[in-house]
């Protein structure tokens, strides 16, 4: 097995995992009297694929919302790239290099695939409103540049054939892919995927797995994902966090998680015999 030092390590398949990128320290999140997350700490390292698993209602999506800045935890600290994060708006989080996809697809249904992905480039467009509306001067050049970037993503995710199709007409699996494309268009350092494979058939899942691995490999994007398909999680991720009823009950490599008795009992089920 590889040496897992604080500065990072090299995985069996030759990828380099770096130092800590995002550090969550003693996070507690409450909605009124309901405690969604109870004193959880874990970190995400540069270049890794980190999975968050747990039964329904374990607080996984809430955790992702804490990372994306949508929820503000009552207790605890979020450190991103060595800095403690103050209370910020979600759009500021996007500017800092965090992008996400949603469990229930959140695309503009009436807009074309291309248009949707272009919205992901918004943080990279600097021209003023008037210039953009008139497609004038700087705005024109900027749009060409950004369109080129988006075309590379379209090529990367193999969605050329639906470039001009309105999103509302696409099947579910493709919508998920378009959402990933939009997140990638923001050139994120950290990509959050909320159940990227939910509701997909075997073939679509395999495609999605390949895209996630390729994104991580080609762009060096750090990925945190929530997923229910255990096969996928164990194959894909470098490290796994397991949550149950808002608490962390396991954290480690897929092998360690597989052999963790508490996880087996809580999540994979206890054999009654």
Place of tokens 């024109």: 140
Q: Are 23 and 43 in contact (CB under 8 A)?
A: yes
Q: Is 141 in the site for other proteins (CB under 8 A)?
A: no
What gap in Å lies between CA 68 and CA 64, rounded to an integer?
Answer: 6
Q: Which is nearer to other proteins, 202 or 270 (CB)?
A: 202
**By CB under 8 A, residue 145 contacts other proteins:** no
- Note the maximum CA span of the chain: 74
User: What are the helix (H) ranges across the chain?
Assistant: 60-67, 90-95, 113-119, 129-134, 138-156, 172-185, 202-219, 230-236, 254-258, 261-263
Q: Nearest distance from residue 74's CB to other proteins, in Å?
A: 43
Among 210, 235, 255, 262, binds other proteins (CB under 8 A): 210
Is 12 among the residues that bind other proteins (CB under 8 A)? no
**The only residue of 9, 42, 70, 156 in contact with other proteins, by rule CB under 8 A:** 156
Specify burial of residue 148 (Cβ count, 10 A radius: 0-12, 13-18, 19+): exposed
Q: How far is the CB of 226 from other proteins (least distance, A)?
A: 24
In the bound complex, what is the minimum distance in angstroms from residue 160's beta carbon to other proteins?
5
Nearer to other proteins, 212 or 263 (CB): 212
Q: Is 13 in the site for other proteins (CB under 8 A)?
A: yes
Residue 40, both tokens: 């959880």
Report whether 17 contacts 11 (CB < 8 A).
Answer: yes
Q: Does 207 bind other proteins (CB under 8 A)?
A: no
- Residues forming contacts to other proteins in the complex (CB under 8 A) are 13-15, 147-148, 151-152, 154-156, 158, 160-161, 163, 202-203, 206, 210, 213-214, 217-218
């Amino acid at each position: 097995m590889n040496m897992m030092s604080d500065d990072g390590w090299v995985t069996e398949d030759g990828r380099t995992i770096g130092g800590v990128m995002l550090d969550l320290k003693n996070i507690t999140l409450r909605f009124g009297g309901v405690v969604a997350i109870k004193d959880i700490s874990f970190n995400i390292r540069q270049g890794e694929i980190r999975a968050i698993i747990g039964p329904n209602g374990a607080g996984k999506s809430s955790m992702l919302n804490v990372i994306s800045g949508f929820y503000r935890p009552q207790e605890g600290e979020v450190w991103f790239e060595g800095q403690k994060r103050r209370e910020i708006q979600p759009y500021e989080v996007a500017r800092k290099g965090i992008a996400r996809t949603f469990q229930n697809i959140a695309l503009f249904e009436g807009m074309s695939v291309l248009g949707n992905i272009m919205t992901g480039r918004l943080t990279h467009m600097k021209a003023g409103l008037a210039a953009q509306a008139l497609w004038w001067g700087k705005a024109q050049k900027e749009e060409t540049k950004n369109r080129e970037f988006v075309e590379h993503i379209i090529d990367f995710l193999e969605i050329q054939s639906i470039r001009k199709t309105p999103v509302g007409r696409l099947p579910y699996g493709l919508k998920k892919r378009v959402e990933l494309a939009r997140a990638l268009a923001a050139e994120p350092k950290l990509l959050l995927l909320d159940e990227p494979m939910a509701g997909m058939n075997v073939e679509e899942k395999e495609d999605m797995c390949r895209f996630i691995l390729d994104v991580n490999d080609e762009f060096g994007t750090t990925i945190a994902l929530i997923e229910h398909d255990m096969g996928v999680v164990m194959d894909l991720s470098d490290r796994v966090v397991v949550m149950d009823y808002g608490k962390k009950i396991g954290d480690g490599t897929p092998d360690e998680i597989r052999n963790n008795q508490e996880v087996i009992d809580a999540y994979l089920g206890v054999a009654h015999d």
